Structure formats: structure tokens, C-alpha cells
Amino acid sequence: MKLKTPIIIINFKAYKESTAKKALILAQKIESAAKKHKANVAIAVQPTDLLLISSHVKIPVLAQHLDIQGQGAATGKVTIEAVKAAGAVGTLINHSEYHVPSSHVGEVVRLCKKHKMTSVVCAPNSAQAAKLAGYKPDFIAVEPPELIGGSVSVTTANPKIISDTVSKVYKTARLNILCGAGVNTTQDVQTSLQLGTKGVLLASGVVKSKDPFKEMEELIKGLKS
Ligand code: G3P
């Protein structure tokens, strides 16, 4: 499945606010904001919540990581066949909080193409983004690790990493680029798009918000302006 752009992808990570029943309630709030404003939104959830959430919402649901073992005698592994059967339409890979070798990234991108699923490859900086762009994923998301989970957005603290990523990746292929880390305002989303991305990847701004629906409306305004 191809994700429409511009897009906001919310990474649920493993927060208590985004686990099990709370994850479902959060996903439904995100979906109602997306439906109200006809915005492109997707969520990346824990493997244990994939089937529950994909059975109750229509917005695209992604896995947060994939292992590259095939189905069979592979204990504790997250296979593409399993996440696809659980309703995922794609996956993040190489997130700063779950870094994998570039060969693993390449194999996940290949598997996603084979299974007609979306690959969102994460990179900590523009150089890594340019290198991983060589695998031609559907999305490259640049997220400076030092800003992840903080209150200062990458669009404020380090807009150059975004423009550098766009220019370096475009030398390889015109891929969809996202940026993330500390994103939480309309302005953050607007600036991200102005710098050449096709959207944002975020977590705490929505997952930890007292009012996730309202926060989603704040972010979606940035997609529309
Ligand atoms: O995958 C997105 C995430 O790493 C960004 O985290 O909390 O800064 O939006 P946050």
C-alpha cells in the first residue's frame, strides 16, 4: 500500500499511553482528527497491538521494526509475513531507538517491495539518509537523536539537517522525505514542508498529549496551510 502525502506519521513507540487498550483509544482519536480534516495520517504501533488496532481503524497502520528472518523456526522475531497478516501496510526500520546494520535496512526495503508494503527508513543525519536512500525506500525520515523526545523541534533547532537531507537524498533519488524529533506545532509541520519534506514523523507531541485529538488538529493545520 502506498501512503498518500503530505503525511503525519505518529510513532506510538512503547509508551504506557500507547500500549494495548490505550493504544486503541489513541488510534481512534487520531483517526477521527484525520477523518474530520481529510488529512493523510498513519500510525506505527507495537507488534503486540497490530492486529487489535488494524481491526478497529482504517488509517494505515505500520510496524515499528522488522526482522529479516523468514517464517519458520525463528523465536521472538518480527517477520514481514506476520505483520502483514496482522494488518500492517508497512514498517519503520532503523529508528534511532532500534538501529540496525544497513544491510538489514536494504533487506527490509526489498521485502517491503516484494510484499507491496511501505518502507519508512529512519536516519540520524543527512549523510546516513543519503547512504540509505540507495535502497530506494518509500520514505526516508531524518531524526537527529539528540532532539527526539524533547520540546524543541528539529525545524527550529536544526532546519539545516532537513534541507541538507533533501538535497543529498535527491542526488540519489527523489524519495519522499520526512523529518522528526520534537515536532508538535502547526509551524513545525509548515516549516518541514517548506524545507522540501513530504511530512513529519513524531511521537511524544501526540502520544503524551493531554488532548491527542486537539494536538492532531494543531499538526494537521500545518499540512493544510
Ligand atoms: O519516530 C519519531 C520519534 O522518534 C520522534 O519522537 O517524541 O521527538 O516526536 P518525538
Global confidence as pTM: 0.98
Share of the chain above pLDDT 70, in %: 100
Question: Which amino acid type is present at position 147?
Answer: L
Q: What is the maximum span of the chain, computed from C-alpha positions, in angstroms?
A: 50
Distance CA 64, CA 47 (A): 8
Distance CA 180, CA 120 (A): 12
User: Rounded to 5 degrees, what are φ and ψ at 208?
Assistant: -95, 5
pLDDT in tens, 186-195: 999 999 999 9
Q: Which atom number of ligand 1 is nearest to the Cα of residue 181?
A: 8
Q: How far is the CA of 93 from the centre of ligand 1 (A)?
A: 14
Q: Assess contact for 108 and 119: CB atoms under 8 A.
A: yes
pLDDT in tens, 25-83: 999 999 999 999 999 999 999 999 999 999 999 999 999 999 999 999 999 999 999 99
- Give me the chain's average pLDDT, please: 97
Q: Assess contact for 11 and 147: CB atoms under 8 A.
A: no
* Structure confidence at residue 2 (pLDDT): 86
> Probe ligand 1: pick from 26, 153, 201, 207, max atoms within 8 Å of CB?
201
Question: Which amino acid type is present at position 87?
Answer: G
* Structure confidence at residue 94 (pLDDT): 98
HSE on the CB side for 145, CA within 13 Å?
A: 9
Q: How far is the CA of 203 from the centre of ligand 1 (A)?
A: 4
pLDDT in tens, 92-110: 999 999 999 999 999 999 9
183 has a pLDDT exceeding 80: yes
Distance CA 69, CA 71 (A): 7
Q: Which residues line ligand 1 (CB under 6 A)?
A: 11, 95, 143, 148-149, 180-183, 201-205
Residue 80 sits at the vertex; the CA angle it makes with 139 and 168, to the nearest 5 degrees, is 20
Distance CA 113, CA 182 (A): 30
CB atoms within 10 A of CB 154: 28
Q: Average of pLDDT values for 177-192?
A: 98
* Structure confidence at residue 225 (pLDDT): 78
What letter does residue 149 receive in the DSSP assignment? T
* Structure confidence at residue 126 (pLDDT): 98
1 has a pLDDT exceeding 80: no
